[in-house]
Structure 1
Amino acid sequence: MHTFRQAPSSLVGRQDEIGRIEGLIGAAGEGSGGVLVLRGEPGIGKTALLEHARHAAAGFRIIEASGSEFESELPFAALHQLCVPVLDHLGELPARHRSALQIAFGLATGTPEVFRIGLAALELLAAAAARQPVLCVVDDAHWLDDASAKSLIFLARRISAEPVAMVLATRHGLDELPGLDLGGLSDADARGLLARIRATLDERVRDRVLAEARGNPLALLELPGAGGFALPGAASVPGRVERSFQARLADLPADARLLLTVAGADPTGDPGLLWPAAEKLGIDLSAGAAAEASGLVEFATRVRFCHPLARSAVYRAADADRRRTAHRVLAEVTDPITDPDRRAWHRAHAGAGPDDDVAAELERSAARAQARGGVAAAAAFLERAAALSLDPGQRTRRTFAAAQAKLDAGATDAAADLLSTVETGTLDELQRARADLLRGQLAFVRRGGDGPAPMLRAARRLADLDPEWSRDCYLDALEMGLVVGRAGGVMDTVVAAARSAPPAPRPPDVLDGLILLTTEGHRAAVPLLRRALTDGDSPLWTRRPALATMLAGELWDNDLHAAIIEWLMKTGRSTGSPLVLRLGLAQTAVAAAHTGDLGKAMAAIAEEEAIAAAAGDTPMAYARLHLAAMRGHRQEALALIETATGEAATTGKGQLIANAHLAAAVLHNGLADYPAALEAARRATEPGDLYLAGIALPELVEAAVRSGRPAVAAPALRSLTERTRAGGTAWGLGVGAYARALVTGDEDHYREAIDHLGESPLTVYRARAHLLYGEWLRREGRRSDARRHLRTAHELLSASGLDAFARRAAGELRATGEHARSRSAPPAYDQLTMQEVHIARLVATGATSKEVAARLFLSPRTVDAHLRNIFRKLGITSRRQLRDLPGLSPASPDGAPE
């Protein structure tokens, strides 16, 4: 009879790996948690090392989970396994996090937030670890469902301050986490292991085994008893080992083989399902003893196979009829109330052909999975439902729904494959439009710039069938173009197509405003755009927030931009929508940079990056770009600009390129490197991007004038004047006035600029107006008048941390015979990372470590560790002292804890 695993003391050739595992567990026992991922082919020793970790964790609470091929589509299945043993601590969690886990595990209804579920799981483990260190062991992690995988990665990245160790075994993946790639044993170690288990093996057979096994420990254990060998290299080691497991089945009674098939088809390992299923099949319970005697399986409080390959071998050894029978009885004994999705999945595998009843049940499971955030699960349910649909119309509808779900889950190739199965010749015009919409989304995700074209086709198809939907498709195409391309060309194409569409039975809307903007200019379009933005109970930003923020900038309307940000932040926080909240935070950062509150900007960027990391996404780069450019730290800003430009070139994100050019123009104007600023500003404005082209025009005017290029400055000023006068805001009129003063040299325009911007919260533009006026006055020989404006500019710029522009003002002051006063102390944020700035600002409002942790998706212990660093860097000893430090004053209302 075969034992299930090597005793830890008998592991051969794995001393380095054992050292890493024991070091990890030892550190966790001291309160410094960590993670280790063991990667390698089946049989290479991952499971044995997991067992060693269990034995090494004396005094730890050990909780386990494993991925399963049959459950890889069920959302949070593996996370549920891991959390069940510690759910008695659920009551210790804040209500919102307790609810997040209950929703994830199907214990409550609601919309799941994957990163909040991860944080709740972290708090749950931390609560358990407060009483006893915890070791989390996860086997077969390559089969983790997508939602569990994201949650476990989230957990693993945030346990450094907790007495929690995680060891995961996987064939591949989880590259985001620290790991070890396990290779085969050395020849000497392989011979030693083989001699230990087969001391009397014939020398020629031993050499054949060594050649076949290639250092794979499980192969060395299994191949000698497999009965004959293929030529070395003829098949993979895992395949040969799996066949060795299958060979053990040959002499078993039929009932034992059927029992093993049922056990292999049930990934839960729940005896409460296995034995009722066996009873339905009339299997004598004595078959269990025969199955256990094979060494393949152990029947205890959990049904456990000796190795993941053994489960696979048993299941695949059964013929199709026996597998269908196993799934049928498992479906019959699975509770349709408490576990309807697993029951539906078993039913789907129990049939031999299409079945509309099962397809409908799978579709209901898909709806439940989507409601719990399991888009990958929903996609799998829908794909199977489509395959089982007898009715062609239902099959097409479910195929489209499955393709959309695959796309939402990030499985673009699978989505494309599903779309290719639809017979386009049988589609009506509405279905063709749906197909075009999906192709547009696919193109957008895969290659970027091609997405708008299929969207436009869909809009044209829908023009007569559904004019409202058609107009939405035009706006979808435009927004897609704004994100991935330089929007000028895309907007022209969209507008040309939309103009030829039948008019919608509704008042003019934002699409009409954009048509006017393209065809007749700002003066004609601005009134309509402003109405569309602020229309009644449903302003544009509640439906299309990204487009609304761009249009607010196009109108130079700071008040409107502030209203949009307020809605984004409130909505993002109340609904938990990561995309809405991240957009709100990025816009908060940009707005704060314009008002000179760089601490607030840094805090917003840090929170956006924390949410992006929690969601496994890339942070929004443009806010950090603009902040770095305004601060004027040359090397830091140029490095960010170079990185962003390279990323944009690779991904085709035209808006990121435009933002990089705008940031470069601001940076170089601050540094008085006007030729470089001129080149960057020209690149930012030439394509005519919505918002970005307009906001870059004053940079172009300033750089062109300072570079002695009046022929470049004049048309830029005309375009800027048209935009700002049409908008009619103090911000736009003030900036337009100082740009006009630069070109004309008319002092009245400088005064006009300062009048418009005098009460503006946009400190940066107000300071630059004073700086430009002071520079002009000094060149006119009016030193006394110049000093007053240069002094104001320097004070505003220096206090705001805009170092390059402040140095420019200081240099001009020296040229008038006056030295600028230096800051008494640098702002506190100069000494801290962005994350530390955010923590410090939140703590300054009175937030507890637990509240800060919830905001930044950290553990309270990690927050406390950051606070110790903050205190050390700033030379303070208490939270209360943070309130009095420059740049760390209590945050705005939105900065308060949840």
Structure 2
Amino acid sequence: MHPSPLDTHGAGGAEPVGRREETAVLDGLLAGARGGRGGALALWGEPGIGKSALLRRAHDRAADFTRLPHRAARSESDLPFAGLHGLLRPVADRIASLPADRGAAWAAALASGAVPRDRLSAGAAVLSLLCVLAEERPVLVLVDDAQWLDGATARCLGIVARRAAAHPLAVVLADHGDPAARPWEGVPDLRVGGLDPESARALHAAVAPHADEAAVLAAVDGAGGNPLALLEAAGADRGPGGTGPLTGPGLPPVGPRTRRAFRAALDAVSPPARLLTVLAAAEDHGDLLAVERAGRARGIDDTAWDEAASAGLLRVAGDRVGFRHPLVRRAVRACCDAATRRRAHRALAAALPEESDEHAWHLAAAARDRDENVAGLLERAAARSRLRGAPAAEARALRRSAELSPAPVDASRRLAGAARAAWDAGDAAAAERLLDDAERLSPGVHTTRGSRGLRGVIEHSRGAPDLAHHYLAADMELVAEPGTALELGTAALSAGWAAGRGDLAARTLASLLELDVEERSDLPLLLTWWEDGPATGAAPAGAAGFTDSVARARRTAPRLLPPSPLAVVWGIDAAVGDALRRRVPHLRRRSEPARLADALAHTSTLDGFAGRWTRAESAAVEGLRLAEEVGADQIAAHCRNCLGWLAAVRGDAHRAAEAAGRVLDTALPEGSRAVSAAASWIAGMANLFQERPREALDTLLHLTEPGNGAAHPTFALLAALDTAEAAVRVGRPEAAGEQVELLRGWARRTGAPWARTAARAAEALLGGSRAEDSFRAALEVPGARSQPLLYGRARLLYGEWLRRERRRTDARLHLGGALEVFDRLGAESLGRRARRERDLTGPPGRSGGRGDRDGAAGVRLTPQEQRIARLAAERLTNREIAAELRISHRTVGHHLGNVFAKLGITARSELERARGGPGPG
């Protein structure tokens, strides 16, 4: 038997992987022949599927048989009895044992190379010879590539196979097509299908044990269970100088042996069936009607359809025509010459409506040179894809259109459009490469218009806002459509805001107000939301102005709404959140990952402030994954900040610091102050909530420090209450006063409930005779509860103030309310602080806390003494304790003296030991 193309799949006695059912059938056939009752089997399946490996295994398992293997050859398929000549030559010396009338004819034939003319007598003679051999020991006939047997031999073997049961004779024929259409009709058959995924992985591992998971998945998926294709994908047959197995993702190419095998399968059918198969392979969508029309125009009738189906090449189901697996389609394409493929595409184009996308694509596939007519058809197809919300299809059509464009300026314009479509589809690398190609080919305003200002969009996504603003503002003046100019203008506003450059934003605002767009009348008011600096002559908004602002936000187009941090400071976060949540499903349907990631990042921010932390985390995680996939660094940083903020408010200082540090390392060099400021705020907040006010203040002051890379007015506003609290706790009331004035001014300008609540709470932190009025006012602001974390903190600060004023019943009420909020949110560090403060007030109806009584000696410590003793036991100095408790260091010393006297100790080192009894525990 000649070496099989699949010897590797079962050589050396190894079991073919994943072929338990087939080997069981073959073993049963051999066992029957050993017992005196023979049989026949026709194995069939597509090229490379493993038939030869099964024949090889049967040959190896039949060492006790007389084995007659043969592999048919295409070159001999038109020579009568050529197959029998090759099959029987090893036993030519036994022909003499046949009856004289048969043996003499075959002896002469085999000696001379001639063959008997009487095919019926030839069949009988072959059967007689095999029976003579079988009298000595069982006989095994193995024929590979039986589709290439000459007709006379095939008919002879059909006679033998159908009569084998009466003798110790086993006949196995391997063919590409359905045996029902062959001369051995009626012989039992077994179709060899593709390997299951587990078996395919096992075969790949046997050949390429060190391939990475991505390469394995790509090979297994691309091969579709075809062992030959899988082995070639794994690099099993790469000779000296080869590159070894595939080690990365992507669809593996159709290997040379797989191409040859499928080429042989195509050659085995008639020219009409061959052309029909190529037409079906060229029709990507499996449109049966299109293939039928194209086939009829080329004279293809039902006979060719039946032949292609019987050969296992085509499958028809309903109105679809296709193949067992995409590998088969790819292999058929690969084994055709270019001229044949072009003819197929031209035939399909002629069979399709001229206004269809498929018509344009088939003409493009058939084109041999640049063709403006076909390029124009593809450009119109791209426009239809854009209307359907299919940016990937749009990019593909425009790119091919550019390749077919005779004029460089047209090619450049179409490449620019392809770049924008690729960006919308989430392929940032391809988008930038296409845009670079467009600008090199023929630079000019057409690239800006074709890409709709993509260069600035790319720079903004990278976190380079100054450069992004430069491009966006300039391109805004160049694009033709006012709607696109408005889109670029708002993106320029966002870039100016991200850079912390109010001057850039102001210039862009002036340009936007000159646009002739549908929203023109609303622009002056709507665009004020992009400002976060001090009011410039604007009248205070008050509650009525805030209500009107929210109503406007609910009515305006999403593209005019500001980024989520600005929406929060303006108090329109609920309206913006609603708009974003309506937009997310639309972006999912359109498969626009970059825009979806951006929307998720902003949704996460708004959900976080609204207290929906689980939802916020989910949105940030998904947004981060999408942003990293498309290379949108700015959006990825925003998502990391969202996750860092959630870690900080939940009390996970380590994760908060890790997220903030990663963002700061990348954002500061690029000049994205909004991202850097958010990360600094997160770091400061985490320190504050972990009761490290000094470190918190050092970080938070960066937000208002002129020239600092993290200085940003929006985040300075959002962090103002944190900064004020940290400043008060370290004894810097002047720094806290600056934050109070900042919040007061913003509250007057916007009327936003959060600003009014934060301003009043910060005022109260400064103390004085009106502290309680300020706390009460903070909690009574309409809408204050819409930000539960802020509201809970206001109650916590008020409760702490009440406890220090020895109003323990009132303090317990507010501390308990704050604790309820923190527990519901999952703000663990703030919850611990609220619980500790509440415990210091003592149980309801008692004047002391639960730790007032000394179980050993009856000594009683006041709640303040307990707290000071605990901090002193932790080795804090008097000044550090004073800053922590917001009292003077002299008061700390006085209380410590009382603690020492009551506990009978003389040194701080003894406090730790005393904590087991009356200590502050």
Name the TM-score class by shorter chain.
0.5 to 0.7
Q: Aligned ranges for residues 708-723 of structure 1 at < 5 Å? A: 708-710=731-733, 712-723=735-746
571-580 vs 367-376, which moves further: 571-580
Following superposition, the deviation at residue 739 of structure 1 comes to 1.5
Give me the whole-angstrom Cα distance separating, in 1, the residues matched to 2:664 and 2:300. Answer: 62
Post-superposition Cα deviations, 1:73-106, rounded to whole Å, max 9, x if no partner, equal xxxxxxxxxxxxxxxxxxxxxxxxxxxxxxxxxx
Could you tell me whether the CA contact under 8 Å between 1:386 and 1:399 is conserved in 2?
yes
Aligned pair partner of 2:575 in 563, 588, 591: 563
Could you tell me whether the CA contact under 8 Å between 2:402 and 2:410 is conserved in 1?
yes
Could you tell me whether the CA contact under 8 Å between 2:420 and 2:451 is conserved in 1?
no
Q: Which residue of 2 aligns with 1:852?
A: none
Aligned pair partner of 2:830 in 788, 805, 811: 805
| Count of residues in correspondence between the two structures | 624
Classify 1:764/1:308 alpha carbon distance in 2 versus 1 (closer, same or farther; 3 Å). Answer: closer
Classify 1:463/1:359 alpha carbon distance in 2 versus 1 (closer, same or farther; 3 Å). Answer: closer
Give me the whole-angstrom Cα distance separating, in 1, the residues matched to 2:680 and 2:803. Answer: 30
| 2:557 paired with 1:542 | yes
Classify 1:794/1:820 alpha carbon distance in 2 versus 1 (closer, same or farther; 3 Å). Answer: farther
Give me the whole-angstrom Cα distance separating, in 2, the residues matched to 1:728 and 1:312. Answer: 65
Q: Which residue of 2 aligns with 1:344?
A: 360
Q: Aligned ranges for residues 847-886 of structure 1 at < 5 Å? A: none
Q: Which residue of 1 aligns with 2:694?
A: 675
Q: Which residue of 2 aligns with 1:456?
A: 470
Give me the whole-angstrom Cα distance separating, in 1, the residues matched to 2:596 and 2:207. Answer: 53
Q: Give me the CA root mean square deviation.
A: 5.7
| 2:200 paired with 1:183 | no
Classify 1:776/1:345 alpha carbon distance in 2 versus 1 (closer, same or farther; 3 Å). Answer: same
Aligned pair partner of 1:218 in 200, 209, 228: 228
Q: Which residue of 1 aligns with 2:776?
A: 754
Could you tell me whether the CA contact under 8 Å between 2:778 and 2:794 is conserved in 1?
no
Give me the whole-angstrom Cα distance separating, in 1, the residues matched to 2:738 and 2:201. Answer: 61
Q: Aligned ranges for residues 385-396 of structure 1 at < 5 Å? A: 385-390=401-406, 394-396=410-412
Aligned pair partner of 1:322 in 301, 322, 340: 340
Corresponding residue SS for 2:204 = coil
| 2:283 paired with 1:266 | yes
Classify 1:341/1:796 alpha carbon distance in 2 versus 1 (closer, same or farther; 3 Å). Answer: closer
Following superposition, the deviation at residue 300 of structure 1 comes to 6.5
Could you tell me whether the CA contact under 8 Å between 2:487 and 2:559 is conserved in 1?
no
Give me the whole-angstrom Cα distance separating, in 2, the residues matched to 1:242 and 1:413. Answer: 33
- Give the AA of the match of 1:328: R
Q: Aligned ranges for residues 216-615 of structure 1 at < 5 Å? A: 217-218=227-228, 232-233=240-241, 239-242=255-258, 244-245=260-261, 248=264, 258=275, 261-268=278-285, 273-274=290-291, 276-282=293-299, 297=313, 311-312=329-330, 314-334=332-352, 340-390=356-406, 394-422=410-438, 429=445, 431-432=447-448, 437-445=453-461, 448-450=462-464, 453-460=467-474, 462-463=476-477, 472-480=487-495, 486-489=498-501, 491-495=502-506, 509=524, 513=528, 518=533, 521=535, 524=538, 534=549, 541-544=556-559, 547=562, 549-555=564-570, 557=571, 560-569=572-581, 600-603=612-615, 606=618
Classify 1:345/1:810 alpha carbon distance in 2 versus 1 (closer, same or farther; 3 Å). Answer: same
Could you tell me whether the CA contact under 8 Å between 2:379 and 2:398 is conserved in 1?
yes
Post-superposition Cα deviations, 1:373-432, rounded to whole Å, max 9, x if no partner, equal 432112111222233345666544433322211121223333333323436796654654
Following superposition, the deviation at residue 15 of structure 1 comes to 6.2
Identity %, equivalent residues: 29
Could you tell me whether the CA contact under 8 Å between 1:271 and 1:303 is conserved in 2?
yes
Corresponding residue SS for 1:737 = helix
- Give the AA of the match of 2:568: G
Following superposition, the deviation at residue 544 of structure 1 comes to 3.0
Following superposition, the deviation at residue 659 of structure 1 comes to 4.1
Could you tell me whether the CA contact under 8 Å between 1:253 and 1:287 is conserved in 2?
yes
Q: TM-score, normalised by structure 1?
A: 0.56
Q: Which residue of 2 aligns with 1:109?
A: none
- Give the AA of the match of 1:478: L
Could you tell me whether the CA contact under 8 Å between 2:724 and 2:740 is conserved in 1?
yes
Could you tell me whether the CA contact under 8 Å between 1:245 and 1:296 is conserved in 2?
no
Q: Which residue of 2 aligns with 1:701?
A: 724
Classify 1:626/1:647 alpha carbon distance in 2 versus 1 (closer, same or farther; 3 Å). Answer: closer
Following superposition, the deviation at residue 435 of structure 1 comes to 5.4
Following superposition, the deviation at residue 696 of structure 1 comes to 0.7
Following superposition, the deviation at residue 329 of structure 1 comes to 0.5
729-738 vs 255-264, which moves further: 255-264
Post-superposition Cα deviations, 1:766-788, rounded to whole Å, max 9, x if no partner, equal 44334323433444566566556
Post-superposition Cα deviations, 1:616-640, rounded to whole Å, max 9, x if no partner, equal 998955555545544x4x34x6335
Could you tell me whether the CA contact under 8 Å between 1:404 and 1:438 is conserved in 2?
yes
Q: Aligned ranges for residues 625-704 of structure 1 at < 5 Å? A: 625-630=644-649, 632=650, 634-635=651-652, 638-639=654-655, 642-643=658-659, 645-646=661-662, 649=665, 658-682=677-701, 687-689=710-712, 691-704=714-727
Following superposition, the deviation at residue 218 of structure 1 comes to 1.7
Q: Aligned ranges for residues 45-64 of structure 1 at < 5 Å? A: none
Give me the whole-angstrom Cα distance separating, in 1, the residues matched to 2:720 and 2:677. Answer: 13
- Give the AA of the match of 2:340: R
Post-superposition Cα deviations, 1:91-122, rounded to whole Å, max 9, x if no partner, equal xxxxxxxxxxxxxxxxxxxxxxxxxxxxxxxx
Q: Which residue of 1 aligns with 2:866?
A: none
Could you tell me whether the CA contact under 8 Å between 1:645 and 1:657 is conserved in 2?
no
Following superposition, the deviation at residue 326 of structure 1 comes to 1.2
Classify 1:4/1:531 alpha carbon distance in 2 versus 1 (closer, same or farther; 3 Å). Answer: farther
Q: Which residue of 2 aligns with 1:776?
A: 801
Give me the whole-angstrom Cα distance separating, in 2, the residues matched to 1:247 and 1:512. Answer: 66
Corresponding residue SS for 2:490 = helix
Give me the whole-angstrom Cα distance separating, in 1, the residues matched to 2:822 and 2:805. Answer: 23
Give me the whole-angstrom Cα distance separating, in 2, the residues matched to 1:586 and 1:221. Answer: 44
Following superposition, the deviation at residue 699 of structure 1 comes to 0.4
**Unmatched segments (≥5 aa) in structure 2:** 22-46, 55-193, 210-225, 246-253, 631-635, 847-921
Could you tell me whether the CA contact under 8 Å between 2:530 and 2:566 is conserved in 1?
no
Post-superposition Cα deviations, 1:456-477, rounded to whole Å, max 9, x if no partner, equal 2342355488796656534312
Classify 1:658/1:300 alpha carbon distance in 2 versus 1 (closer, same or farther; 3 Å). Answer: same
Following superposition, the deviation at residue 790 of structure 1 comes to 4.1
Q: Aligned ranges for residues 59-78 of structure 1 at < 5 Å? A: none
Post-superposition Cα deviations, 1:503-549, rounded to whole Å, max 9, x if no partner, equal 6686772697479755x646649769979994987868523365164
Post-superposition Cα deviations, 1:723-776, rounded to whole Å, max 9, x if no partner, equal 23333444323321321332x321314412322422532444344334323433
Give me the whole-angstrom Cα distance separating, in 1, the residues matched to 2:263 and 2:429. Answer: 37
Q: Taking CA–CA contacts closer than 8 Å with sequence separation of 6 or more, which of the two structures ends up with the larger relative contact order?
A: 1
Could you tell me whether the CA contact under 8 Å between 2:456 and 2:469 is conserved in 1?
yes
Post-superposition Cα deviations, 1:34-80, rounded to whole Å, max 9, x if no partner, equal xxxxxxxx9899xx99xxxxxxxxxxxxxxxxxxxxxxxxxxxxxxx
Could you tell me whether the CA contact under 8 Å between 1:455 and 1:473 is conserved in 2?
no
Give me the whole-angstrom Cα distance separating, in 2, the residues matched to 1:573 and 1:308. Answer: 31
- Give the AA of the match of 1:488: G
Post-superposition Cα deviations, 1:779-825, rounded to whole Å, max 9, x if no partner, equal 4566566556545544555566544334323323443444799xxxx
Q: TM-score, normalised by structure 2?
A: 0.54
Could you tell me whether the CA contact under 8 Å between 1:378 and 1:405 is conserved in 2?
yes
Classify 1:357/1:581 alpha carbon distance in 2 versus 1 (closer, same or farther; 3 Å). Answer: closer
Could you tell me whether the CA contact under 8 Å between 1:356 and 1:390 is conserved in 2?
yes
Post-superposition Cα deviations, 1:161-213, rounded to whole Å, max 9, x if no partner, equal xxxxxx9999xxxxxx999586353699xxxxxxxxxxxxxxxxxxxxxxxxx
Post-superposition Cα deviations, 1:196-244, rounded to whole Å, max 9, x if no partner, equal xxxxxxxxxxxxxxxxxxxx95289999xxxxx9954458895431453
